[in-house]
Amino acid sequence: MAAGDLPPAATEHKDQGNSHFAKKEYEDAAACYERALALVPDNAVLLSNLSAAHLGNKAWGAALAAAERCLAADPAFLKGYGRKAAALQGLIRPGHAEKVLREGLARDGGNTYLREELARLLQEEDGDQSPRRARDGSDRPLRDMMTRMGPQITPAAPWPADVFQIAMFGDAAAFRSAFRPEHLRLRGLEARLPLLHLVVMGAQRLRPVNSAVGMDHAGVMRQLLAAGARADGRDATGYTALHHALAHNPVLDLADILITEGGADVNAQDRFGTYPLLSVCMSGAAESARLLLKYGARADLKDNDGCTALQMSQYNPEIQKLIYRAKEKVPDTDVRSCAGCGKTGNKLSSCAGCRSNTYYCGRDCQVAHWPKHKTACKAARKAAAAAAASGSAAPAAAAAAAAAAAGARSGSGAAKASAKPAKPLPKTLRVPVLLGEECLYLQSLQAPMANMMSQAAGLGSRPIPSNAAVDTDPGQLRQALAGAVRKATREHTMPIKVQVPCPPGMAPGMQLGPPDSSSDDDEDETAEAQKRAQGRRRARTATAQEVMGQYTMLCYNRDRTVVFQLDGTCGSGKKLRHLIRRQGVLGLKGYFAAYFDAECVGEDGVPTDIILSTAMLAVPNW
């Protein structure tokens, strides 16, 4: 009810209360508002004024009760959120106050009053949080301070109160006895460490050394969050407790509590612009990345120097894979299970019809499961065939949508809109295979770089899986290809992954801009030069420059026992390359059903061509 809608008697009491409030006679003002509320008990304006009078009198509990009544009467009355937050701050519950202000801003993000209240709270709690950059050297003082602080953070440090030491040891019972709300206002050492940070640091430093028996850092953390500690409280560098919990020597249980129970922001950025996922990419902690991505962490945020987690992940293949899976919404698991009997393992085969994430351990299970799977399988194949035949820009997406509608467990493969309509594609493309010896060595820079960064972060050398560990013996690779010819037929296709070269000037892992919309005839080589180069490739006499040219595509199967390259300069190769640019994962790679026929095989049994279906497969769990 608005002020003008009050009964005359209530209006009189309200005006008297306002007069007392202006004179800072808060008790008298509160009494007047109470008399008005006796006439109109659920008036949000009067309840807000009553809360303000109690705030002026520092009666925090009464102010909180009045503010809660105000919001119960009218949740859209935004000033009530400010009153409630002020009362919570008076009770030294800054975390709860911050949440209330953000709830109000969720209703109206442009409300000046609430924005100013939130800015004031953060300034009082966190102090100077001005940005720093490496490029101009402004980050050096803070980083030097971080270096000094590392050895000093021990239980024996000169903490402002004994409760900091207790928090480091994770003694929940002693903490319950010693903790007082005013401890939330204290900061430790030069780094201005909040009490919540000490819980994380204690778990990181003491758990590996001492037995976890008798330590209950999770219990201490829950006590602090319940008491109103800010999950996103920052130290002098802008680090939150979540930054610390996941970067070096991660404590995943505490990180999970911060996110799920404390509401910690998984994308919070410190004074350098660094966010938890970016820190994790630098430290190489894959399980930390898995946790962050599970709760919606973004990989495309830029720090103050323009670096993203997506770029940094190129140095750690395992984390890079997790990020790509999260981006494409592919289930984060490498464990396959037979749809028929439930048997798990990696030696299961996907349905050859729809190539969805439906696996079988053998023909018997596939036949037994067919009545349940056939509707989804047929719908996916029909949609993919129709899309490919009509030249649709999204045959894979059509197949995935059809399979999903029928209950199939398929991945995502949404097509990207092209600035120029794609030409109609045939159902299959016959693409020349390149086997010059120069292309048989698939070099991986990721594993050594990941180890180097892990050592620099103080984690030591650790076995980090390579994203491209392949046998580089030419004879064995040709033998594997010859074996693939015998197995991959039109009836039993082989799923393969095709990668197009990264465009010049683009770092691996970066998101492409507008998709490649050039026509299949747009190349900078003359037709005659292309024909000569193609002939040399087919004759196995291609030069290294020709084999590793900017239009050459890398191709391999799931376990990388079959590795070769495809000629992207010929007509079919160009069509395949443009298809991946338009519809592939990040415009850089795509998955296809492939096979060989009699015309593909050379005299030595090694293929000179491969046939790929233009209906791209859903993104598998590779």
pLDDT at residue number 191: 95
CA distances to 138, 177, 257, 339, 372 from 367, in Å: 66, 65, 46, 11, 10
pLDDT at residue number 179: 97
Does the reported pTM lie above 0.85?
Answer: no
Higher pLDDT, 415 or 369: 369
Q: Is 140-328 assigned to CATH 1.10.443.10?
A: no
Question: Among 192, 194, 195, 212, which residue's Cα sits nearest to residue 204?
Answer: 212
Higher pLDDT, 513 or 10: 10
CA distances to 51, 238, 363, 598, 600 from 486, in Å: 81, 59, 19, 10, 11
Q: What gap in Å lies between CA 131 and CA 307, rounded to an integer?
A: 15
Q: What gap in Å lies between CA 171 and CA 181, rounded to an integer?
A: 18
CATH class of 3-126: mainly alpha
Q: Which of 287-296, 339-348, 508-517 has the lowest mean pLDDT?
A: 508-517
Q: Which of 70-74, 192-196, 246-250, 263-267 has the lowest mean pLDDT?
A: 246-250
Tens digits of residue pLDDT in 176-235: 999 999 999 999 999 999 999 999 999 998 876 544 556 899 999 999 999 999 999 999
Please state, for a pLDDT cut of 90, what percent of the chain lies above it: 47
- pLDDT classification of 378: cutoffs 50, 70, 90: confident
Q: Which of 425-439, 449-463, 537-551 has the lowest mean pLDDT?
A: 449-463
Q: What is the largest CA-CA distance in the chain?
A: 105
Q: Is the pLDDT of residue 607 over 50?
A: yes
Tens digits of residue pLDDT in 444-454: 334 444 444 44
pLDDT at residue number 274: 96
- pLDDT classification of 326: cutoffs 50, 70, 90: confident
- pLDDT classification of 515: cutoffs 50, 70, 90: very low
Higher pLDDT, 340 or 610: 610
What are φ and ψ of residue 555, in 5° steps? Answer: -140, 135
pLDDT at residue number 533: 52
CATH 1.25.40.20 in the chain: give the residue spans: 140-328
Q: Is the pLDDT of residue 392 over 60?
A: no
CATH 1.25.40.10 in the chain: give the residue spans: 3-126
